[in-house]
Amino acid sequence: MLGVCRQYINDRHFAEEVHLNGFLKVFTKINKYQFKGSFEGWIRRIMINECLTFLRKKNKLIFIDDTQMFKDLQTPNTGENDIDDLQILIDNLPDTWRVVFNLFAVEGYKHQEIAKLLGITEMASRSRYFKAKKQLQIAYSKLKNKTHAKEY
C-alpha cells in the first residue's frame, strides 16, 4: 500500500506518513468493512482517499483551476530501470494531472467516478488525463532519445 501512496505523493516521507495514517484508519474502521468486494480493494480505497486528503491539506490542492505550471523537471535516471524513470516523469506532472492519471490509468477508476471523487466535471477529468498522458509520452520519448544518443 506504500506504493499506492507513493503514486500520489512525491515525497517518500510524506507518503510513508499518509500510509501509516491510512492503516490507522483501516484498523479503527475495520468494523465498517462489509465483506463486499476484496479486503485489499477496501484498504486501497482508504489509502487513495487519505492521499487525496493529504494533498488537499498540505498543498492546498484545488481541482478547479488547470493553469498550473510544470515543475522544473528532474533529470531522470537514464540507467536500466525504466520503472524508476517513469515514476520520476509521473512525479513531475502537475498534481491535478498526476492524481487523475493515477486514478484512471493505475487504479482503474472511470472518469465519472474521478469527477465525483474530486469535485470536477467528467470532461475536466478526461482533459487532465489526456494532457498527462501526452506529457508523459513526450517526456519519455525525449528521455529515450537522450539515452539512445549517449549509447553512440
Kindly report, residue by residue over 115-149, the tens digit of the pLDDT. Answer: 999 999 999 999 999 999 999 999 888 887 776 55
The predicted pLDDT at position 68 comes to 47
Shared domain check, 35 and 15: yes
The verdict on 35 and 103 lying in the same domain is no
Residue 55 pLDDT exceeds 80:
yes
11-to-58, 95, 98 alpha-carbon distances in Å: 12, 12, 14
Do 30 and 73 share a domain, yes or no?
Answer: no
The candidate with the shortest Cα–Cα distance to 26, out of 44, 6, 8, is 44
Full domain range(s) for residue 150: 64-152
Query: What's the pLDDT at 147?
Result: 60
pLDDT confidence of 110, banded at 50, 70, 90? very high
Residue 106 confidence class, pLDDT cut points 50, 70, 90: confident
Model confidence at 76, pLDDT cuts 50, 70, 90, reads: very low
Residues 139 and 79 grouped into a single domain: yes
Q: Whole-angstrom Cα distance, residue 61 to residue 47? A: 17
Band of the pLDDT at 18, cuts 50, 70, 90?
very high
Considering 39, 61, 83, which residue would you say is the last residue of a domain?
61
- Closest residue by Cα to residue 97 from 136, 53, 60: 136
Identify whether residues 48 and 72 lie together within a single domain.
no
Which of the four pLDDT bands, split at 50, 70 and 90, describes residue 71? very low
Shared domain check, 122 and 78: yes
DSSP letters spanning 30-45: GGG--S-S-HHHHHHH
Task: Look up residue 139 and give its three cell numbers.
Answer: 517526456
Say how far apart CA 5 and CA 152 lie, in whole Å.
Answer: 38
In the chain, the number of structural domains is 2
Instruction: Output the domain CATH number for residue 73.
Output: 1.10.10.10
Asked if 5 and 76 sit in the same domain, the reply is no
DSSP track, 35-78: S-S-HHHHHHHHHHHHHHHHHHHHS---SS---PPPPPPPPPP-
Boundary residue ending a domain (61, 90, 113):
61
Rounded to two decimals, what is the model's pTM? 0.66
Where does the pLDDT of residue 23 fall: very low under 50, low under 70, confident under 90, or very high at 90 and above? very high
Residues 33 and 92 in one domain: no
Same structural domain, 1 and 53: yes
Whole-number percent of the chain with pLDDT over 90: 42
Q: Do 1 and 52 belong to one domain?
A: yes
pLDDT at 69 (0 to 100): 43
80 with 57, same domain?
A: no
Residue after which a domain boundary falls, among 10, 37, 61: 61
